[in-house]
Structure 1
Amino acid sequence: MNRLPVEKRAQILQMLCEGSSMRSISRVADVSLNTVTKLLIDAGSACSAFHDATVRNVNSKRVQCDEIWSFAYAKAKNVPSAKAAPIGSGDVWTWTAIDADSKLILSWLVGDRDASAASAFMEDLKPRLANRVQLTTDGHKAYLTAVSETFGADGVDYGMLVKLYGSDPQAQRRYSPAKLIGIDKDLILGSPDLAHVSTSYVERQNLTMRMSMRRFTRLTNAFSKKVENHYHALSLYFVWYNFIKSHKSLKGLTPAMAAGLVSSPLEMSDVVTLIDQREGPPKKRGPYRKRVDTGAADEGNLP
């Protein structure tokens, strides 16, 4: 099995996290589109396992949660009439939880925007925390049951930020939300500090996500064609965001460094190492044999 050099693979992964499309990467890096796709899948699998094992026992004070919309293959309303739509097509929501101080993405989930997804999201978030936190979410009602059932009445200080928008007679023809006219801060569980009932940091991270991954760009054909590849792109992105990308607000540290998970930033070549560790040493190709009838070369294993 042939492998690209570490530097070439690191370049491709870096471009995937910097907003380049897969086809542009194949042209710039002079590799096939299939090579870029396979590398994304391999990196996504390795990064998902790395995040799950590493982002644990985090000492956090304030956690903010939000959801960001995208779609795979076709928007939900167009899936019934889409030709050969694969399983998972339609609207895709990415749930994110961020530590307000270190800017570390603690947990994330790809799925629908329903009660079952909210419960799964909270169940993944809780064991990653080392202590009681103040939790803030937006006004999505699915959070109410999910938070109370996961953390219990005495396990979290939970506040909900509800944004109030004015009416818009042409809401269906706009690409931006209606005018924000106010906010409500609701105390749901425990004793949250009203001054810190906010979703500003997680919403800003969602903007970074939309700018850093081509498949999140609106009004283009750069959307994900398969929900599996959407998941792999997010797995790679969150490791890049947490462990590799230095943040100006953290004085050049990465969120993982600010949270005390690592002592130095990782490099994209470290992600390549994670991939190679999962795959093991490269296997040799089988010998060639010739077809007697045509004389053409055919790759395969000799008996």
Structure 2
Amino acid sequence: MNYSCPTCLSNKIIKNGSTHHKKQKYLCKECGRQFVELPQKKYISSEFKTLIDRLLLEKIPLAGIARALDVSYTWLQNYVNKKYEETPREIKVSEKQKGKSTIQCDELWSFVGKKENKIWSWLALDVKTREIVGVFLGDRSKKSAEKLWDSLPPVYRQCAVCYTDFWESYTGVIATKRHKAVDKKSRLTSHIERFNNTLRQRVSRLVRKTLSFSKKLENHIGAVWYFIHYYNSLKSVKN
């Protein structure tokens, strides 16, 4: 028998019954993998899935990933659905001591399904560490501003000075003495505005004019959180 195991490449292969389509099944005596010759379904290894996970962090639509990697779009969509569903919706940042800190907040718009259905990504960034320390996705109301504030770790809610634009929803949510509303010319919100650009460049469904927009709200939210966790993991290593 000239077959080799697709997992460990061993030639110690024996016949092992047949499928319900009458195709011969084989068993690897080295690793225990069962397989058929010329399978219709492609075996997706853990290494291959790791590659897909990395590509999800780049501005590549799912259809593009499916074409480049020669995988089923349906399989890829189901894989991404599960990954985004399992992505935590809580911020993870390096441990901070109580003391003076500065954060910048801003809102980034995108849409799900159609442009009339706008979704706003509310973000807060630590000026010193450059970590994203607060996230909420919703509308642009005061309630969403409150959700952003609630998403911040307690040390920021207690001590941080917060710079925002003049959007009215922030008023009353952040303590007056620590809320600084400024315009763009001040450059006191430049870091969070720069991150907004990064987010649009790396998450294809956030590009303003795109065919890669989200059709499902949960995936839209999951994609944003997925990139933010990755982004913060890089910042925590540097800090």
- TM-score, scaled relative to structure 2: 0.74
Matches within 5 A, 1:156-175: 157-163=178-184
Equivalent residue, structure 2, for 1:272: none
**Distance in structure 1 (CA, Å) of the matches to 2:101 and 2:207:** 32
Equivalent residue, structure 1, for 2:212: 222
**Distance in structure 1 (CA, Å) of the matches to 2:170 and 2:125:** 16
CA-based RMSD of the aligned residues comes to 2.4
Letter in 1 for 2:130: K
Matches within 5 A, 1:54-69: 54-55=92-93, 57-59=95-97, 61-69=101-109
Question: Mind listing any 5+ residue stretches in structure 1 that lack a counterpart?
Answer: 77-89, 164-181, 184-196, 244-253, 260-303
Which of 73, 78, 87 is the aligned partner of 2:113?
73
Which of 133, 140, 153 is the aligned partner of 1:106?
133
Shift of the alpha carbon at 1:97? Answer: 0.6
Which of 231, 238, 241 is the aligned partner of 2:231?
241
Conservation of the 8 A alpha-carbon contact between 2:93 and 2:232: no
- Is 2:32 the counterpart of 1:5? no
Shift of the alpha carbon at 1:126? Answer: 4.6
**Distance in structure 1 (CA, Å) of the matches to 2:228 and 2:63:** 22
4+ residue stretches of structure 1 with deviation over 6 A? none
Question: Mind listing any 5+ residue stretches in structure 2 that lack a counterpart?
Answer: 1-41
Q: Secondary structure of 2:59's match?
A: coil
Q: Secondary structure of 1:219's match?
A: coil
Equivalent residue, structure 2, for 1:139: 166
- Is 2:83 the counterpart of 1:43? yes
Q: Give the count of matched residue pairs.
A: 196
Matches within 5 A, 1:269-284: none
Conservation of the 8 A alpha-carbon contact between 1:19 and 1:211: yes
Conservation of the 8 A alpha-carbon contact between 1:44 and 1:234: no
Equivalent residue, structure 2, for 1:256: 236
Name the stretch that deviates more: 104-113 or 55-64: 55-64
**Distance in structure 1 (CA, Å) of the matches to 2:80 and 2:151:** 24
Shift of the alpha carbon at 1:162? Answer: 2.8
Matches within 5 A, 1:148-187: 148=175, 157-163=178-184
Sort the Cα spacing of 1:256 and 1:99 in 2 relative to 1 into closer, same or farther, 3 A. Answer: same
Sort the Cα spacing of 1:47 and 1:133 in 2 relative to 1 into closer, same or farther, 3 A. Answer: same
Q: Residues 199-239 of structure 1, C-alpha deviation per residue, up to 9 Å, x if partnerless?
A: 10000000000000111122222211111110111121111
**Distance in structure 1 (CA, Å) of the matches to 2:84 and 2:155:** 20
Q: Secondary structure of 1:94's match?
A: strand
Sort the Cα spacing of 1:127 and 1:44 in 2 relative to 1 into closer, same or farther, 3 A. Answer: farther
- Is 2:118 the counterpart of 1:91? yes
Q: Secondary structure of 2:130's match?
A: coil
Letter in 2 for 1:235: W
Name the stretch that deviates more: 3-12 or 208-217: 3-12
Shift of the alpha carbon at 1:37? Answer: 2.1
Sort the Cα spacing of 1:35 and 1:256 in 2 relative to 1 into closer, same or farther, 3 A. Answer: farther
Identity of aligned residues (%): 27
Shift of the alpha carbon at 1:3? Answer: 7.8
**Distance in structure 2 (CA, Å) of the matches to 1:257 and 1:204:** 20
- TM-score, scaled relative to structure 1: 0.59
**Distance in structure 2 (CA, Å) of the matches to 1:137 and 1:119:** 14
Q: Secondary structure of 2:183's match?
A: strand
Shift of the alpha carbon at 1:128? Answer: 5.8
Q: Which of 1 and 2 has greater Rg?
A: 2
Q: Secondary structure of 1:202's match?
A: helix
Shift of the alpha carbon at 1:16? Answer: 1.3
Letter in 1 for 2:180: G
Conservation of the 8 A alpha-carbon contact between 1:72 and 1:224: yes
